[in-house]
Amino acid sequence: MAQAEQHRLDLGDEDLQTRATHETAYWIERARDITGASARRLPVPAVAFDLRGRSAGQAIFARRSRDCRIRINAALLESHPQEMLAETVPHEVAHVVIYRLYGRRARPHGKEWKALMRAFGVDPAPCHTLPTEPVRQLKRFRYQCACAEDAWLTSIRHRRAQQGTDYVCRRCGEKLVRAAESADT
């Protein structure tokens, strides 16, 4: 693989989402240079800014058409533009490139992906370190069994239990039963 050149990020006046889209095209072009792949084999993926929560980015692959797209967390892009453009965009582009070149044979953060990230000149860290807030805090409901300790089910599992799904204690194996309502959090 070719030696990585230093890529400068100048945020300037350009809209961050437009900039992220341009950065995606830049990294795809770099990947073509590094791997020798054609534009047909490595097309620029569509970029959406609809990702929420703690994830900074996500690469989406369509199995049959082999089309790829990238989702970026717009809130994190707004609050941490430098890190998102310098780390997250090449990270997700590398996933797209490895998928287009190797298919599902290659592991998501495997040796091929790490080698491409190093060729990009970006640290091949599998996760970002940006501070994030949880999207939602699920309410928890108290359940009991034969054990001395209470078991807690999230609102999702509580609703399923109300609809007939049985949950059992991991320790004693007994069916969990809804406890008094006063102690729910």
Task: Give the per-residue SS3 of 101-127.
Answer: HHHHHCCCCCHHHHHHHHHHCCCCCCC
Which of 45, 56, 114, 54 minimizes the C-alpha distance to 81?
56
pLDDT band at residue 15 under the 50/70/90 scheme = very high
Q: Is the model more confident about 123 or about 185?
A: 123
Record the pTM.
0.69
Least confident range of 26-40, 53-67, 105-119, 122-136: 122-136
Residues tagged active-site: 92
Q: What is the DSSP letter of 68?
A: E
Q: What percent of the chain has pLDDT over 70?
A: 88
How far, in Å, CA of 31 to CA of 159, rounded?
Answer: 47
Strand arrangement of the beta sheet that strand 140-144 belongs to:
151-154, 140-144, 177-178
Using alpha carbons only, how large is the chain's radius of gyration in Å? 22
How far, in Å, CA of 38 to CA of 43, rounded?
Answer: 8
Question: Hey, what are 28's tokens?
Answer: 């795809």
Check residue 147 and give its pLDDT.
87
For the chain, give percent helix, strand, coil, nearest 5.
Answer: 40, 15, 45
Largest CA distance in the chain: 65
Q: Are the C-beta atoms of residues 154 and 139 closer than 8 Å to each other?
A: yes
Residues 6+ apart with CB under 8 A from 30: 7, 120
Q: Is the pLDDT of residue 7 over 70?
A: no
What is the three-class DSSP state of 63? coil
